[in-house]
Amino acid sequence: MIESLSERISGYVYRNNDRQHVNEDVMKYALISIMTNICTIVLSLSVGLILGMFKETCITLVVTAALRLLAGGHHVSSPLLCVILSAAVVAVVPFIPLALPLIYAFTVISVLLIWKFAPMGFKNNTNISDRSLNIMKIVAMALVLSNFFFQSEMLAVSWMIVSLTLIHFKGGETHE
């Protein structure tokens, strides 16, 4: 759905743009990314509003996106599946209670996973320098470590989920 709409839009723009200064495939990829993010945000916020957890959903979206941007992670096989899975996770996170020892445990595990695996998916797919990748890793770890101050259930669960997407399982595939 998202892919076909992106393909139609990019094809139309490419055919009707005299300058054609952007490759059609690049435009399609960018549109898929933008549309996936917009759909995820709209669906997540709608579910959060319906469930009476709008503020919590906003927080979960922001902290998840921030860590994902810094640490990377594996992707699911299709943009539509990404939207559905992401919105479901964001909707559920505010309802997961954790005792303080579990908040600490999730925070420590998340930091260790980031230290071991992050940043994942950037190395061969971007022009980001090794130094910048190391800085991203350090900032991601510092972000997660901030939960020792906040002691937030939502932060612990959100960041644990993102950290788990860093692990490469046998047969897994990176789509970045």
**What does the pLDDT look like over 117-146, one tens digit per residue?**
999 988 878 899 999 999 999 999 999 999
Q: 52 or 25: which carries more pLDDT confidence?
A: 52
Q: What's the pTM value of the predicted model, to 2 decimals?
A: 0.89
21 burial (CB, 10 Å; 0-12 / 13-18 / 19+) is: exposed
Is pLDDT of 174 > 60? no
Q: Which pLDDT does position 18 carry in this prediction?
A: 77
pLDDT class for 171, splitting at 50, 70, 90? Answer: low
Q: Which pLDDT does position 175 carry in this prediction?
A: 43
pLDDT class for 1, splitting at 50, 70, 90? Answer: confident
CA distances from 1 to 6, 15, 41, 42 (A): 9, 21, 17, 16
Tell me: the pLDDT tens digits for 99-118? 999 999 999 999 999 999 99
Q: Which pLDDT does position 168 carry in this prediction?
A: 86
- Sorted by sequence, the CB contacts under 8 Å of residue 2 that are 6+ apart come out as 32, 35, 36, 39, 79, 80, 83
Region 13-40: what's the mean pLDDT?
Answer: 88
Query: What's the Rg (C-alpha) of the chain?
Result: 18
Residue 36 CB neighbour total at 10 angstroms: 20
pLDDT class for 176, splitting at 50, 70, 90? Answer: very low
Region 19-24: what's the mean pLDDT?
Answer: 79
pLDDT class for 45, splitting at 50, 70, 90? Answer: very high
Closest CA to 176 of 115, 142, 128: 128
